[in-house]
Structures are given as C-alpha cells and as structure tokens.
Structure 1
C-alpha cells in the first residue's frame, strides 16, 4: 500500500504505538483510512428503561436510587438506576472504592451497555457511564459510534482518536487518496467517490440504517468492495500477462505417441476427457505458455488427460514434469504413468524428499541430461539443484496445496533453452464458480464433468460411534463376501505423530475384533517403500481391510473396495470428506460410506454431514463447503491474496464478480495507467507475484 503519510505525524503516535498498529496492518495514514469499523453502536438517542430489549445495546439515563456491595458466587457492586419509565440494576464485578462513591444516591448517570437477563430481570453488566451535572448540557453523539478491529494494548478510544485526526486530514486533502475508478462508472452505478465513501463509513450519520451498514450493502461499502475485488482481479491479469510474455514451445504434432497410448488402453476416454484434451491441444499450439486448470471430480480421469497432454511434447523431444503434493499420490502417478509410457519407450524419472544419496544423484543426472523424459515428483522438484535439459510441460496435481510462487518457480526450470514450459494444473477438489473467478483468474479453466461408465453410486450414512460394534460387524460381513474396506482415522490435532498413533491403535483394535480378516495399516510416517508395498498388497486383494490416516485422500485407486468408514468426520471439511469417499465406488459393486461421528454434533457439523448424505456432486459440495467454511479455509493458506481481503467478502459479494471481471477488462485495456496504483493500494507488498 502506498505510504501517503507517516503515522508518527499524528498526535500521540510514537514508535511504540506505531509498532502496535503494525499488528493491525496499519503502517501509513492510507492504511488507517482503510481500517474500517466492523460494526457500529447507536449512542445518538436515550432509550427509556422500560423500552430496553435483551442483547440490544442502548443509552439510558436516570437517577441512582441506591448502591450496595453484594456477595454471591462473586462480589459485585449493584446500582439501582431509575428513570420515569422504570428501574434497572447496573452490576459491576470489577470496581474500586472511588467508583462506589461515585454511585451515591441521587447521582444522575448516563450509561451505555447491553441489557442481559439477570437474577432481578434485565441488568446492565459493566456499562460505560458518565455522571451528568445538573444544569449542564451533555450532548449525545451526533453520529453512529464506530467499533474498529483492535489488538492488545490499543483501546477503541485510542483508535477513534487516531481516526478522528485522519478524517480531518482526509477532509483537508492531506492524505493522498486519488479516485482511481473512471467517473462515469461511479455515476452509472450511483456510487460515491472514494474520499466520500471513507468519510461516511468512519462517521455515519445517526439516522443511517444500521442493518444495511453491518451487512456491507451500503453504497459506500459497495464503492470500496468493487475497488478491492478489482485490484485482486487486476493482480491476476498482471500475473497472466507476465507469464504469457514468455515464449513457450509451440507444439504441432501428428499425435503418433498419443494414438499408441490410446490403443493400449482397455477403455475409451469419455466425451469430457476428449473435449478437455482438445482444449489443451489448442493451447499447446500457441507460442506462449499454456496456463490451464483442469477440474474433475474424484475418479473422472484427470491423469489420463494429463498423460495425453504429455504425449505430444514427449514426441517432440521435450521433457514433462508432473508434481504432486504428497509422496503417496506422486507414487500412484508414477505407477500409472510408467505402466502406460514405459512400453512405448519413454523413460521415467522420480524425485521425492526421501530419495537420498546415490539414488538422488542418479535421478538428478538423468533429469539434467534429458535421459529422464517424464519426471514425477513432489515438492523436491522445486529444489535449486534440480535442472532439466529441455522442460516443455509442467503438470501440477492438487494446485491448492501449493503456493502460486511455488508453481511459478518451476517455470524457471524450463528457461535453459530460452523457453518457458507450458503449465497444466489439475484438481480433484471442485472449485466453486465464485472462487474460480477470483482465485484463479490467471488460468483458463476446463471441467471434466463426466464419470467413466460402470461407476456405482455411493450410499452415505452418518452413524454415532456408540454403534461402533455394529459397524465392525458390517465390515466383517462385507469382507467375507469378497469386498474390501477402508477405515480412516482422523484426529483434530495437527500432529502427524498423534494421527499415526490413533491409526495404530485402531489397527490393533480391529485386528483383535476381526481375526478372520487380513488387516493392513498405512500412515504418513511410514517409509515410502513400506507404504507402496501395503497399497500394492491392498490393490492385489492380499488385504481385506486397510486402516489409514487421511494420506489416502487422493490418488489411491482400488476398484474392488466398496466400503469406507470415516471416523470423526465432523473434524474434516466437506471437500476432504468427498475426496475420501471417492476412494470407493470405483468398480461396479454397490458402495457405501459410513460417517462414524462423535456425539453431540455442532450445528455446522450436522450441516456438513447432511450435505454428504444428500449429494455426490463435487461442485455442489464445494459450494456448500464455501458457504459453511468460507474461502480462506477452502483454498488453503498457501493461496495467498484472498485471505487478505480487507472489506470484500467472497460469499457475500459473489454477485459482484461478473461485473468486476468486466470492469477489470475495461481498466486493463482502456485505462492502463490506473492498474498499477490500484494493485498497490490494495495489495501493496503482498502482491502475490511480485518476484515472478
């Protein structure tokens, strides 16, 4: 954000207070101007005591009829206040002798507080108060009282005093805040100017509709919301323009390798897979980098689409890198792709964090020399000592697990030949339209909206863990009839060690309870080879039941598995539950998912589990997840930018996004001089692509 004035220019702001304000992301007068109230209090009128409503804050004024210190569970000062309409108790748990003396009989008090039900009817607990001197005019507030986001050591009173100084400077034009939106837009949409909107929101008149203000639907809010969303949209346009300014290999191919791969497959791609492959083929013909996001629900066949995209580049002598967020998913990709490509003479490469010593040196040499044509790996592919000979395409699975910077750092790996690689991003986490429009505006989007034939629907039920013995019996019956099952353990703690411990305990419990079944265990702390062996044994039906942590969330494909038990599903988001459930239903057998929850459930948890029972549509589930959890959690903390929205809210303001996209296009092409100042104003140093 542009520094248009130092905070230390304000009266009362020294280095210590400036440092505390920094915790609120207030580093300049401009920051202070955009530090808006999150709610308001109406102290502009006196409410008769008889007219007070529970939990609705109000100003009252009356005469003290008596005060006393009472002893109950806690000592408190009880003051009886009366006006012409009635009487109410004021209760103070923290008080001193001076306060007690101020509350003498006959004193006139004006109080502000939130009435709550107490032992004697409505009471005000710790109200703000002032003594009213007889014969002196004590005016009420002329405007609504703003309540600002605060931090330790900074009171509301201090924040209000700072904002009052800033408002005076704003009125005098001493804070540099030029209007960056074209005048005709504001006239067309009846929006106030920037300065006018800020002055209003910091100091709204007493008659302003409080509900409209707190809902963020006032025209002054809309003015700022549009500008903030516009800045984020433009930041992504800029990112896209920077990437597409690079040269990339234009791939024109006769698709020989692709045809050879398709001939060896025991199935035919779906219409959706074919359509998305065609879109990618068109992108690859361009002499600038492809930036395409492929969304597809669990089991829709994204890996095949990625493989078909890789074919044409491999045929032209370029290397392809596929990166996955976890070793277990990367290993699954390696197995699938090796099975398809090695018979066609393509050499595979492999690099993960656990590849050490001579094996790592060998991998690095094969990648750098070009011997490894199709390289699969994890975050290890980002490391500085990884060099490609001729990288033409980067495929990234589960993009939301990686930061934008990480994705773009792979671009540099292909610049040895003066060309940037094409980028194909895949996700099995369907992204709600509103998020896709705002978080991924730098990418073209394709959707694989068709599942391969032969998939069976999954019946989902939610059952209390008090019925655990019944579920164990159900596993026994299903596996005895030839089916396979997953039992997934989740823990609220982030500690991987604790999650693994829970899985080990459950594994031992189920081994004892199901002596006739072959039970396996897989979790994140096992060695890669050990995990791979267990997964292979499960896939080959050498195991009946697999106990696992959420490491099996993505990538594991066992068509014979038709029963999934998820413990403590209330601790997971909908997207993750949907991913886990997608591990079953991959064959023709009728499949079931049991959500084994702990009672009692919160309202949010009940909502989540109901959505899972009602639908198997990943996009519907993602929309519901967005409503329940909000965009920050859904995108993951690595997807920077959207968590930093100061005023806009992606759920509340979703209806503005199409308009914002049009405005961004218009500004980008018709008013290019305003693009950079807008981005700087709202994103400042946090501009997510600053070092691209």
Structure 2
C-alpha cells in the first residue's frame, strides 16, 4: 500500500516517544517528509589529513602530527595548551576542561590525530577542545572513506540520534518515493539528480563521493535544494505582494507627469533643490500612485541622501486628493525628527500634522485618535503606536515606513487594514541601511525598489581615522579643541555584550571621565535606559547647542540631525557591523565644516576586524560598505533579526548562493501553481502563513 510520507507522523518511527517528538517539533519536524528535508548543513571530512600550513579560521579540519610542547597556561581561565607539529607548521590545541590523564596522554613526542574547528586564539590559529586520539606514527589507522553528516540540532537532541532516525526515514523513502516538486525541464537544464536520489545522497554520501563539492555546498544534489528553498521563499514573498495587490487602492495621481500643487509650494519654500536621484525616485512613485492597486515600493538611500523630503512630497499627493497619510519610524527620536520636518514644510501650506507615540497618553491620545477618525489630521507621524487596534483613520491612503528592517513584515502589513473601506493604502518603505542588491532581491521580493544614489550638494566628506584606545588622551584633546572652536561632538559607547545595561554603564563611565577631564565643557548623556522624556530633553539640549558633547549608546544611530556636530568618536568599533558604523558616522558631515570620525578600537584587532575598519576608512559609499558587510557578517546581521526571521534558510546562504537569485526571478513564472504550493509547504511550512497577514 502506498504511504504518503508527507502525512506520516514522525512518532511512527522507532525510538520517537513523546519527549523526542517534542524536540523534533522545535526543529519544524512533524512528519517523515520533514525529517527527510532536514538535510545536513555541513559534513565532517575525516577522509583526509590537512597540512597545518593550509588551515584558516572557520575550517573544520583533521590534523596529524607529533606533540612539540605541552604546558598549563594560567590566565583568566586556566587551560592546557598543546602544540601539534607536522612537516608544514605548528598549531595549538587548547583545552579549558582537562584531566591529568589527558595531559599525560598528550605528552611531548606523542603522535596524535585530531579533528576540530580552527579559531583565532591567543597564539594565532588554535583548535579548542578537538576530538583526538594518540596513534602509531609508523602505522596510523586508515582514514574514513565517507563523510559524516552534521544536522541542525536543538537542545537535548544528539547527532547520533538524529542520524539513526534519518536512516529509518531513508528506508521508508525507498519503499515510498516522493513526487518531484520542480519541473523535469529544470532538472535537465541544471543537471540535477532526481529528488529521491538527491535526498538519499545528501543524508548518506557514498564512498567515493565528491568530498570537496559537498563541503563547499557545490554538489548538484545540494544545489537543487538551494534552488528549491530560494524559490519557496520567493513565492512566499510574492504571496505577500499578491495578498495586498488583489485589493484596490486610491488613485492619487491623474497621470505620472502631473505636478503636485502642494509639492510645488513646498519645494518653493526649501533652501535647496532636489537632486536628480530624488527626482527619479519621485517619478517612480508617481507612476505607482497613478494605478488603482497599492504601491509597494522600497526606497533605499544612504545617510543624508534626502529620503525624508521624498516621503513628505509623497504624503502631499495623498492630502491633495483628500486622503490621509501615516508616517511610521522605529524610535521616538527618529519619529520626532520627522515630525519637526513635516510640520516645518507642511504647516505653512495649511496642512495638519499629528503626532502619536507611546508616550502620548490619556486625554492627549484620545484627542489625536478622535482627530484621526474625523479626518481633522491630514498626516500623522508616529512609532509602532500607529499599529494599535484603537487607531482608526477616516481616509488613510498612504503609509510611509522608515527603517523597515526594524519592523517585521507582519507589522507593516497590519497597517493595510486601516485604509478607507474597500481600499488598501499605498506603502512607501524607506531605509538608510543600504541593502546589497543580492539581499534586496531576496528579502524584499514583495517590493519594487528605488535608490537615491547621490548626496545633496554641500554635504561634507567625513575623514575617518582609526586609533587604538591607548591614544584616548589625544582623542579627548581633539574633542576639547573642536568644542572650543564652537563645534559639537558625539562620543559613542558600544559593548560586545548584547546587554543594554552594560552598554549604559559604559556610557556613564565615559560621561564621568569626560566631565572630569573637560570641566569647561557641557557634556550630556543619553542611553536606552532613560525615560523617553529625559532622552528627548538631552537631545534637544544638544541640538540647540546648549551641550558641547553628547555621550551616547547606539540609540543615536539613525535620524539625528545636528549640523554643528563635526566630530564623532566611536569606541570599540570592531564590535559593530559596518552598516551600523556607517550610520553612526553619518551623524556628522551635515554642516559646512570639515568633519571627522574617530574609530577607537581595543587591541588586539582580529584580521576580520582590521579588514572591516579599513573598508570604512577607504569608502563613504553605503552600498559598497553594505556589500562588504554582507560578505563579512552574513544576511542575518545586515538585515536585522526581525526581517531574517522570515528567512530561516536550511540549505541556502544568500551570500554563497547569490548567483541563483537572478535565475530565481527568471524561472519563478514558469513554475506551475500546484508545484509552487508544494515548495512553500515543503520548505517553509507554517512560516508561509505570514504571507496571508
């Protein structure tokens, strides 16, 4: 009798009781098919011995050689340091937990075979707690003939248990093969193995398998599943788009060439002209707003490229037609800045700009809610408070979301319910975090993309200097000199720990030190643990020039605009991503004087840390920096966890597999609907439900 493995409960496998079943469900494994698609994310290659001279940080290697030195090192943590030497070089094996018997076994002169991950340690490359065994140098045991699969795990589940269960599932697969989910024409074009053959091969690579291809994730069996998973993700995002664009939207522009009367008035009052890039993006938006379907557009623009003006001119299109616009930012600091800009530009035109954030409470909040519901507010600026159920609009036709990666797709889509009855609002999504093209194609497949790729004339180039913390006194003197000349400075504190409390402590310590060292300057402090009102007061004092120096955690990352600030010191920059450092650096260079960014690191710098700071010193192009950031840190860090929560790839890696992304766009339309649904169910499962929000 034919059995459908996609319906066969995982509990039917031998050895899967209630406890194991619960652990498997944490990995998204509920059926035998789920288990078969829980493919190894890497392999341990014990089929060869690596020369020590060829190892690099991050490599998983098997080494063999004699012990040249054995000693116990007393440091912050006591460790056993064993130096293994072959004919090409030497490397340390480090054990933080060790016994006297271990130390005796790894004595000088012993011949050892070991396996582990190469890391950068105190002596250079090191292997921490490698698996090892002492072997006979004259007749070492034969090497393994095949690769050992390594699976993603959850707490309480061992590799050996998962390998046993996968073997049971493979026996069932032979008897009850799965139906293929990509067309035969694609399998032929890319010379992929058939589905069931590919699954069996990856769970149990045979003797003689192409080891280097599997380790590098370049084997055709892996590549077919990379393609499947990327297609499934692409289809899920397209479902998001379709679920919105199946509804009508208000037409806000008669035709794309029509000038906005309000827009012309606003532009006439500005002390600057739009750049060609801003105008090009506004043209894209006009084309969208002339259609009766919701606009879904992402505007990327580097720090200071003028996205806020574009957002304001877009909001005026809605107001001109008698509708309302909502502008949402992730922090109150950034939202307040937008509020000030919008009021400055729109109030002279007779347009009412409202404000709604978490700190607006009681009667004030009730008043704003009533004005929104009655249509007395044309444009409302706020934070995530705009999502709340009791916020009702009379005629919402446009939503502007700033710094999209700080919100989830869920949150952005929650606002679509707040449109005029029967109509879904247009969406303009903005980010000052330049997103590499590869990521934009994949993470934002539901959005059309426009880029503001030139800065307004007059923006100052920021000179970036990299200094060790030992030159702190020199840096403080530089701050003093800048402030005595009438400028202002930022001093940004970061910590490797995620703890906000520790970041705040670091900021408080720096604040005290600067107050003691520079008693003639007024020095303020802002961090994430202060009340919103206290933060706002300090920020205002800095903006109005009452304070000379602002000591802050990374809360000042986006949107703070103080043209008189010409110097920013960033402590421990090696602990932040490049994109975040670029954002912070963009707090200066907004006036007409030369501006400087000092990156003050704590030695020793790793090779990667050095490379990252060099990129920042060499480039002020946010897109170049973002590409390098992606290369060095991966997509989860670049996009932020909320966005990548939708992108929990099992087989794919957006940087490694970026060559597939243009292919995905080309072949996606050729995949029949039934196969699209199969792919989404197989690779994303319940997570695809966000598409229906």
Q: TM-score, normalised by structure 1?
A: 0.85
Alignment: residue pair count: 630
In the alignment, the residues of structure 1 paired with residue 597 and residue 206 of structure 2 have an alpha-carbon distance, to the nearest angstrom, of 55
Q: Confirm whether residue 499 of structure 1 aligns to residue 488 of structure 2.
A: no
Distance apart, 1:444 and its partner CA: 0.4
Task: Kindly report which structure 2 residues correspond to 1:54-93, keeping only aligned pairs within 5 A, or say none.
Answer: 57=62
Partner residue in 2 for 1:227: 228
**Matched position secondary structure for 2:390:** coil
Distance apart, 1:58 and its partner CA: 8.9
Distance apart, 1:273 and its partner CA: 0.6
Partner residue in 2 for 1:637: 641
Select which of 654, 657, 663 maps to 2:661.
657
Distance apart, 1:379 and its partner CA: 0.7
Instruction: State the Cα deviation string for residues 593-646 of structure 1 (Å, max 9, x = none).
Output: 001111222333222211111111100111111111111121111114554100
**Matched position secondary structure for 2:217:** coil
**Matched position secondary structure for 2:670:** helix
Partner residue in 1 for 2:467: 463
Partner residue in 2 for 1:382: 387
In the alignment, the residues of structure 2 paired with residue 94 and residue 536 of structure 1 have an alpha-carbon distance, to the nearest angstrom, of 56
Partner residue in 1 for 2:170: 167
Answer whether contact 1:331 1:532 (CA < 8 A) is retained. Answer: no
Partner residue in 1 for 2:242: 241
**Matched position secondary structure for 1:592:** strand
Q: Confirm whether residue 283 of structure 1 aligns to residue 288 of structure 2.
A: yes
Aligned in 2, Cα 1:56/1:235: closer, same or farther, shift over 3 Å? closer
Aligned in 2, Cα 1:441/1:41: closer, same or farther, shift over 3 Å? closer
Select which of 267, 273, 276 maps to 1:268.
273
Task: Kindly report which structure 2 residues correspond to 1:460-539, keeping only aligned pairs within 5 A, or say none.
Answer: 460-539=464-543
Aligned in 2, Cα 1:56/1:401: closer, same or farther, shift over 3 Å? closer
Q: Confirm whether residue 599 of structure 1 aligns to residue 622 of structure 2.
A: no
In the alignment, the residues of structure 2 paired with residue 193 and residue 41 of structure 1 have an alpha-carbon distance, to the nearest angstrom, of 25
Partner residue in 2 for 1:193: 194
Partner residue in 1 for 2:88: none
Aligned in 2, Cα 1:180/1:341: closer, same or farther, shift over 3 Å? same
Aligned in 2, Cα 1:528/1:602: closer, same or farther, shift over 3 Å? same
**Matched position secondary structure for 2:458:** coil
Q: TM-score, normalised by structure 2?
A: 0.85
In the alignment, the residues of structure 1 paired with residue 111 and residue 142 of structure 2 have an alpha-carbon distance, to the nearest angstrom, of 26
Select which of 387, 408, 414 maps to 1:403.
408
**Matched position secondary structure for 2:23:** helix
In the alignment, the residues of structure 2 paired with residue 207 and residue 301 of structure 1 have an alpha-carbon distance, to the nearest angstrom, of 58
Answer whether contact 1:324 1:396 (CA < 8 A) is retained. Answer: yes
**Matched position secondary structure for 2:665:** helix
Distance apart, 1:675 and its partner CA: 1.3
Partner residue in 1 for 2:298: 293
Select which of 31, 34, 49 maps to 1:31.
34
Instruction: State the Cα deviation string for residues 41-63 of structure 1 (Å, max 9, x = none).
Output: 56789x9xxxxx99854999xxx
**Matched position secondary structure for 2:642:** coil
Select which of 415, 418, 421 maps to 1:413.
418
**Matched position secondary structure for 1:333:** helix
Aligned in 2, Cα 1:568/1:641: closer, same or farther, shift over 3 Å? closer
In the alignment, the residues of structure 2 paired with residue 139 and residue 504 of structure 1 have an alpha-carbon distance, to the nearest angstrom, of 60
Distance apart, 1:194 and its partner CA: 1.3
Answer whether contact 1:483 1:560 (CA < 8 A) is retained. Answer: yes
Distance apart, 1:479 and its partner CA: 1.4
In the alignment, the residues of structure 2 paired with residue 216 and residue 621 of structure 1 have an alpha-carbon distance, to the nearest angstrom, of 26
**Matched position secondary structure for 2:455:** coil
Distance apart, 1:94 and its partner CA: 9.7
Partner residue in 2 for 1:8: 11
In the alignment, the residues of structure 2 paired with residue 44 and residue 507 of structure 1 have an alpha-carbon distance, to the nearest angstrom, of 56
In the alignment, the residues of structure 1 paired with residue 505 and residue 157 of structure 2 have an alpha-carbon distance, to the nearest angstrom, of 43
In the alignment, the residues of structure 1 paired with residue 198 and residue 329 of structure 2 have an alpha-carbon distance, to the nearest angstrom, of 46
Select which of 92, 112, 128 maps to 1:123.
112
Aligned in 2, Cα 1:529/1:142: closer, same or farther, shift over 3 Å? closer
Structure 2 runs not aligned, ≥5 long = 50-54, 66-70, 81-94, 115-130, 136-140
Answer whether contact 2:491 2:551 (CA < 8 A) is retained. Answer: yes
Partner residue in 1 for 2:315: 310
Q: Confirm whether residue 544 of structure 1 aligns to residue 548 of structure 2.
A: yes
Partner residue in 2 for 1:135: none
Distance apart, 1:312 and its partner CA: 1.2
In the alignment, the residues of structure 2 paired with residue 520 and residue 117 of structure 1 have an alpha-carbon distance, to the nearest angstrom, of 56
Distance apart, 1:18 and its partner CA: 1.6
Answer whether contact 1:465 1:598 (CA < 8 A) is retained. Answer: yes
Q: Which range moves more in the overlay, 160-169 or 497-506?
A: 497-506
Instruction: State the Cα deviation string for residues 79-128 of structure 1 (Å, max 9, x = none).
Output: xxxxxxxxxxxx9x999xxxx9xxxxxxxxxxxxxxx9752242247668
**Matched position secondary structure for 2:472:** helix
Aligned in 2, Cα 1:2/1:509: closer, same or farther, shift over 3 Å? farther
Taking only aligned residues, the RMSD between alpha carbons, in angstroms, comes to 3.1
Instruction: State the Cα deviation string for residues 203-251 of structure 1 (Å, max 9, x = none).
Output: 2221112111111001111111111101111111111111100110011
Distance apart, 1:561 and its partner CA: 1.3
